[in-house]
Structure 1
Amino acid sequence: MGQPTKTILFLGATGGCGLSVLRRSLAAGHTCIALCRTPSALLTKLALPSAPPNLTLHTGNAHDPDAVFAKLTIDDPHVCEMGMATLLGAIARRRAETGNTGWRPRVLVLSSTGLTSVGTRDTPLLMVPLYRGLLEVSRADKKAMEELLVREGRDERWTIVRPSLLTDGVEGGGVVRVGVEDPGEGRLERSEVGYTISREDVGKWGFEELIEEGEARWLSKAVGLTY
């Protein structure tokens, strides 16, 4: 017998990594719900003339509490932090209104390397100026998002994925190495340092390890992915 299907809400599915996970989830038969500002743009990226039966598209903003709440049945320097605050608030609201206090949806978060606060660096020394220069605004936003999730979502079932610098390379562009950190405990379990990884390989790893397998070993962990 195959794996049971899941219902998955995508916030930011038009991005490279999210798009890769969405495409694989649809092919596997999972029920997918995508909240995006321009649904037609998502269909174009999926190379589909219309939404398949297992994909529901909703027009909306991931910062709108009512829009995110309803779906639970880098212009903005705080886009990730605000999105996380909205999502956590919507989950709490759904529990309160349904009375189902034990409901714990699986939350998968795309972040970045360069954010570890324990142990050694997870980026090569040559990449440090890039992360602290051109990418500093985005890096600060993702750091705030992670801290909010760890602090306010300590009882949730979450995994943070931290890919190294993303490329548009094809799947199988290298051997994926996995670093593991427990941000809640401030403990580094395994360090891996690399320069880049393709969006396709991040999506493939996320789909296989976090959606299809759903292994408990990744719960409450920040997982660094690199070649």
Structure 2
Amino acid sequence: MNVFAIGASRNIGYYASVRLLEKGATVTFLLRSLSVFNEDKVIQKFVEAGTARLVKGDALNPDDVRKGWEASQSAFPDGHVNLVLFTVGGTPSFSLTRGAVINPPNLCTKCLLTVLSTMPASLREPAAQPRLVVVTSNGLTRSTHAALPILLKPMYGYLLDGPHADKLATERVLAHCAGRAWTDEEPREGFLSADWQKQEGLPHPGELKHFAVIRPALLTDGASKAESAQRPPYRVEEGMLKQAYRVSRKDVAHFLVESLLPDWTQWEGKFVCIAY
């Protein structure tokens, strides 16, 4: 498997990439700093083997992302990319009035627009398109926020309000490119430009064929429970999931690699919630 990973220097993207590497995949990482893995013995093992490929670049910069696409294509003789792993997430600062603040506020949305708009022509035909997995969050829309456990609603409504507005806009972009009717509220002003649908290179409605969205519950840094369980300890459901309190980043990565990808026909085109 040939993988192009954006936002995978840490957290879910990192854990999923390591799992894929251990299964024999080749992963091209687009990294703002190549030194991020200098002391990482796990990644360095795969760098030395030639299956982890590090490309310096910013996912906000179209030229950098094109370079990442090219590097990923060059990993296989036929230039095919099997999977795009999009797990972009900024490091927030804290504001008393706004909660967690990401700079820029629409980081995930802008990065996804850039990734989709720079997709090489050779990968745009349905049969050649890579699978795209995007990680957003649970509770982004009014309906999914209403389904949150009552104890989490204040945190989601205040502390995570900004990052979640960004991820809602990210899902809006995906729905547009996939030709899906958008029945939720429109993203907040400023997260998408007035003419974003006309961005050069952005797939036309219905052109994006192979994608899945993972909406985790409140993320924790705990160990993967799935590693020691006879069956996965997490619950997954399309759309909404009741009593979705938390899930570890490592178990989201476990679901992505061990279930979602092998059972792609079950999950393709779906927005999947995951929680314990």
Fold shared per TM-score above 0.5: yes
Distance in 1, matches of 2:273 and 2:215, equals 4
1:192 aligns with 2:224: no
Change (3 A) 1:99 1:192: closer
Change (3 A) 1:45 1:139: farther
Match among 149, 154, 173 for residue 129 of structure 1:
154
Counterpart for residue 65 of structure 2: 68
SS at match of 1:161: strand
TM-superposed CA distance for 1:200, in Å, is: 0.6
Change (3 A) 1:119 1:77: closer
Deviating 4+ runs (over 6 angstroms)? none
- Count the aligned residue pairs: 209
Distance in 2, matches of 1:23 and 1:196, equals 22
1:41 aligns with 2:69: no
Counterpart for residue 84 of structure 1: 112
Partner amino acid, structure 1, of 2:148? T
8 Å CA contact 1:113–1:122 kept in 2: the answer is no
TM-superposed CA distance for 1:220, in Å, is: 1.1
Change (3 A) 1:200 1:62: same
TM-superposed CA distance for 1:76, in Å, is: 2.0
| Worse-superposed segment, 100-109 or 27-36 | 100-109
SS at match of 2:244: coil
- Deviation sequence 1:135-171 (CA, Å, 0-9, x none): 1000000000001111123332111111111111001
| Structure 1: stretches of 5+ with no match in the other structure | 1-5, 182-189
TM score, norm. by length of structure 1: 0.84
Counterpart for residue 170 of structure 1: 223
TM-superposed CA distance for 1:116, in Å, is: 4.1
Counterpart for residue 11 of structure 1: 6
TM-superposed CA distance for 1:55, in Å, is: 0.8
SS at match of 1:71: helix
| Worse-superposed segment, 165-174 or 115-124 | 115-124
- Deviation sequence 1:192-214 (CA, Å, 0-9, x none): 33211111100111011233x04
| Worse-superposed segment, 127-136 or 115-124 | 115-124
TM score, norm. by length of structure 2: 0.70
CA RMSD of superposed structures (Å): 2.1
SS at match of 1:192: coil
